[in-house]
Homo-oligomer: A and B are copies of this chain.
Amino acid sequence: MALHAVILAGGAGERFWPASRQKRPKPFLEVLDGVSLLEATHRRARRFASPGCVWVVCGREHAAAIRRETGLTNRRVLVEPRRRNTAMAMSWAAHHIAAHDPEAVLVVLSADHHIPDARAFAAAIRKSAKAARSAGCIVTLGVKPRRPETGYGYIQTGPPAARAHPGLRRVKRFVEKPDAARARSYLRRGGYLWNAGIFIVGARILLQEIESCAPDLHRALSPLAKAPRARSGAALERAYRRAPSLPIDVAVMERSRKVWTLPVSFAWSDVGTWLSLAEELGVAPGETRVVGGELISDDTGGNLVWGSERPIALLGVEGLAVIDTGDVLLVTILERSPDVRWIVSDLKKRGRRDLT
């Protein structure tokens, strides 16, 4: 019943443009800690998973870079023939890993999240794995909210899950990203946690839940039943062609009755936007934070600066993100920064592949 880390590296991180690009998306960026988010995730995974039990699921275009970055062997890098969202990525990983280790417990992680306290994180994973193993449930980590964040989904907690597993609770419901008023009320009322998208579940349990909660997805997986160890080829191709593109939350978590949550209070961020990075770094009135590059002047503070080789001077500005990637420059109000995804989609429409 070994713990297997499954690192999902399929996200584009578009709201992190222009640092995150198709060729070098967010997991590869050294945003914090001086290593890439991917490598930091890999190191966190190694606290509970042996080297032979760390897997990455990714697209073809990033496989080589991922092997270089993590030192993982070919075998451990599951290259999806096309992008089909997290439900399919997890399904294939569950199938593939179960073929090697039928008792495997999966710990599903995003390649581009930030969790400074790796020790507290590993302890939570072990506690969750114990429950997943003995109760056959799906455990999702629920992070105690620190602010009325509108960029995250929430988990409303239910009653304690089982006497044998103190701390774990049933999930009443998953809530999609709320508006500001609702987010504030969640914080006030309590009983709401940030959905960190970190799942701990036995591989076979996950496949069972897919069967009962997401029949379309289950059917798409059938070619893999005959070739469970396939890493490429016709069976995998067929499965991916048929698979619906769904996030695992929608396909399984919101429907399954086996989902528990472990409330955790360590710091966690999906580093999804410049705004969330600013919060992570402690940008506040008067406090500018610099990631790379050289800030030569700033009289006001309260800005986030992502520099390259060019020194940057700020004068009289506040609450800005100034992102200089060397080949593109973005200047945005931090609060508006999640909207950079519209710039990206506009650039794509205009065929500016050089800039996306």
Q: Does A9 contact B (CB under 8 A)?
A: no
CB atoms of B331 and A322 under 8 A apart = yes
**Residue in B closest to A18 when the chains form the complex, CB atoms:** B313
Q: Which of A284-328 contact B (CB under 8 A)?
A: 296-297, 299, 310-317, 320, 322, 324, 326-328
CB atoms of A315 and B329 under 8 A apart = no
CB atoms of B331 and A315 under 8 A apart = yes
Q: How far is the CA of A339 from the CA of B300 in the complex (A)?
A: 13
Q: Which of A1-28 contact B (CB under 8 A)?
A: 18
Q: How far is the CA of A333 from the CA of B315 in the complex (A)?
A: 7
CB atoms of A315 and B339 under 8 A apart = yes
CB atoms of A331 and B326 under 8 A apart = no
CB atoms of B296 and A310 under 8 A apart = no
Q: How far is the CA of A255 from the CA of B193 in the complex (A)?
A: 76
CB atoms of B330 and A315 under 8 A apart = yes
CB atoms of A297 and B331 under 8 A apart = no
User: Which residues on the B side are within 8 Å of A330 (C-beta)?
Assistant: 312-315
Query: Would you give the shortest CB distance from A334 to chain B, in whole angstroms?
Result: 9
Q: How far is the CA of A329 from the CA of B329 in the complex (A)?
A: 10
> Please, how many residues of chain A have a CB less than 8 angstroms from a CB on the other chain?
33
Q: Is the interface of A mostly helix, strand, loop or mixed?
A: mixed
User: Which residues on the B side are within 8 Å of A332 (C-beta)?
Assistant: 313-317
Query: Would you give the shortest CB distance from A356 to chain B, in whole angstroms?
Result: 11
Q: Does A346 contact B (CB under 8 A)?
A: yes
Of A297, A312, A324, chain B has the most CB atoms within 10 Å of the CB of: A297
Tally of this chain's copies: 2
CB atoms of A313 and B331 under 8 A apart = yes
User: Which residues on the B side are within 8 Å of A347 (C-beta)?
Assistant: 296-297
Q: How far is the CA of A37 from the CA of B42 in the complex (A)?
A: 56
**Residue in B closest to A325 when the chains form the complex, CB atoms:** B310
User: Which residues on the B side are within 8 Å of A313 (C-beta)?
Assistant: 18, 328-332, 340, 343
30 contacts between A and B (CB under 8 A): A18-B313, A296-B347, A296-B352, A296-B355, A297-B343, A297-B347, A299-B339, A310-B324, A311-B327, A311-B328, A311-B329, A312-B328, A313-B329, A313-B331, A313-B340, A313-B343, A314-B330, A314-B331, A314-B332, A315-B330, A315-B332, A315-B337, A315-B339, A316-B333, A316-B336, A316-B339, A317-B331, A317-B333, A322-B331, A324-B329
Q: Does A335 contact B (CB under 8 A)?
A: yes
Q: How far is the CA of A10 from the CA of B305 in the complex (A)?
A: 35
Q: How far is the CA of A335 from the CA of B316 in the complex (A)?
A: 9
